[in-house]
Structure 1
Amino acid sequence: MLDLSKIQLIAQSYSPQELFAALVWQRQFNRFNGEQVITDLASRTDLWASFLFTKPIFAPDENGLSFSGVIDTLLAMANYRPMSETSIIHFVAYPADTLYILTQNEDTKVSQLLDLGKKWQADSVEVTDGTNEEYAFGLQRRLKTRLEGGLLGENVQQDSDAVIITY
C-alpha cells in the first residue's frame, strides 16, 4: 500500500540521487558493503556526476537478461514488507547488484574511481565510453553523443567527454 503523505514528504525532501544512495546503503552481499560505497562516494563528490544502482543492463541482450533483472526487481518490490529485526521472516531487499557511475572522462577521475573499485573489492570494474564493440554502431554513436553533450548540459561552452564506470 502506498502512503501518499509519506511519498510526498520523501519526494519533497530527497533528490533521486539521494534515494539511490539509500538503496545502495541498505545492500550488503558477498564483499559489497553499501554503507562503505556511499561513504566513499559522499567524500569524493568531485569524482562523479551521478550514479545508478540496479540490475545489470546488457546492450546485446539475446537471452533477455536485462528484462529478467527488471522482473526480479519488480518482484522484490512487490513482495517487500517491513519486518522487525527479530522476525524470522525476511523479505528480499532491493535486488540491485550493479553500480553505474557517470563521470567526466579525465584520467585522474577515472583512475581514482577504478581505485575505489579495488577498495570495494568489486568482482569487475569496466569503463564504457560509447565505443565498445558490443554495442551496435548506431547505439555507440548515440551513447557517445549523449555522454559528451549530456554531462554538463547543452548550454555549456566547454565540451566535456564522459564515461560510465560499472562495478
Structure 2
Amino acid sequence: MLDLSKIQSIAKSYSPQELFAALVWQRQFNQFDGQEVITDLSGRTDLWASFLFTKPIFAPDENGLSFGGMIDTLLAMANYRPMPETSIIHFVAYPGDALYILTENQDTKVSQLLDLGKKWRADSVEIIDGTNEDYSFRLKRRLRTRYSGALWDNDVEHRDAVIVCYWWD
C-alpha cells in the first residue's frame, strides 16, 4: 500500500539521486558495501554527474537478460515489506548489483573512477563510451549530445561523456 502523504513528503525532500543513493546505502552482499560506495561518491562529487544503481543492462540483449533483471527488480519491490530487525522474516532488498556512473570523458576523472572500482572490490568495471563493438556508434554520439545539451552547466557545451559500469557478482 502506498502512503501518499509519506510519498509527497519524500518527493519534496529528496532528489532522484538521493533516492538512488539510499538504495545503494542499504545494499550489502558478497564484496559490495553500499555505505562505502556512497561515502566515497559523496566525497568525490567532482568525478561524476549522476549515477544509477540497478540490475545490469546488456547490449546487445539477445537473450532478454536485461528484461529479466527488470522483472527481478519489480518483483523485489512488489514483495518488500519493512520488518523490525528482530523479525525472523526478511524480504529481498532492492536487487541492484550494477552501478552506472555518468562522467565527463576526461582521463583523470575516468582513471579515478576505475581506481574506486578496485577499492570497492567490483567484479567487473567497464567503460561504456561507444567504441566497444558491442555498442553502436550511435551510443557515442548520443552520450556526447545528451551530456552537452542536457546538463545545466554552461561549461559542458563541447564535452564528451562516458559511463563507468561496476558490477558485483
Bucket of the pairwise TM-score, normalised by the shorter protein: over 0.9
Which residue is equivalent to 2:114?
114
Matched, 1:153 2:158: no
Deviation at 1:149, TM superposition (A): 2.1
Which whole-Å deviations, capped at 9, do the CAs of 1:54-96 have from their partners, x for residues lacking one? 0000111111100000110010001000100000110000000
The runs of 5 or more residues in structure 2 that have no matched partner are: none
Q: Distance in 2 between matches of 1:38 and 1:5?
A: 27
Identity, in percent, stands at 78
Query: What amino acid maps onto 1:56 in structure 2?
Result: P
Output aligned runs, 1:127-146, within 5 Å: 127-135=127-135, 137=136, 140-141=137-138, 143-146=139-142
Matched, 1:77 2:74: no
Q: Distance in 2 between matches of 1:8 and 1:120?
A: 34
Output aligned runs, 1:51-130, within 5 Å: 51-130=51-130
- How well do the aligned residues superpose, as a CA RMSD in angstroms? 1.3
Q: Which of structure 1's runs of 4+ aligned residues deviate more than 6 A?
A: none
SS at match of 1:125: strand
Q: Distance in 2 between matches of 1:145 and 1:32?
A: 32
Which residue is equivalent to 1:163?
162
- Verify the 8 A CA contact 1:73 1:96 in the aligned structure 2: yes
Query: What amino acid maps onto 2:37 in structure 1?
Result: V
Cα pair distance change 1:27/1:58, threshold 3 Å: same
Query: What amino acid maps onto 2:161 in structure 1?
Result: A
Which residue is equivalent to 2:48?
48
Deviation at 1:153, TM superposition (A): 2.4
The runs of 5 or more residues in structure 1 that have no matched partner are: none
- Aligned pairs, number: 163
- Verify the 8 A CA contact 1:23 1:53 in the aligned structure 2: yes
- Verify the 8 A CA contact 2:57 2:66 in the aligned structure 1: yes
- Verify the 8 A CA contact 1:49 1:151 in the aligned structure 2: no
Which residue is equivalent to 2:3?
3
SS at match of 2:53: strand
Query: What amino acid maps onto 2:88 in structure 1?
Result: I
Query: What amino acid maps onto 2:147 in structure 1?
Result: L
SS at match of 1:76: helix
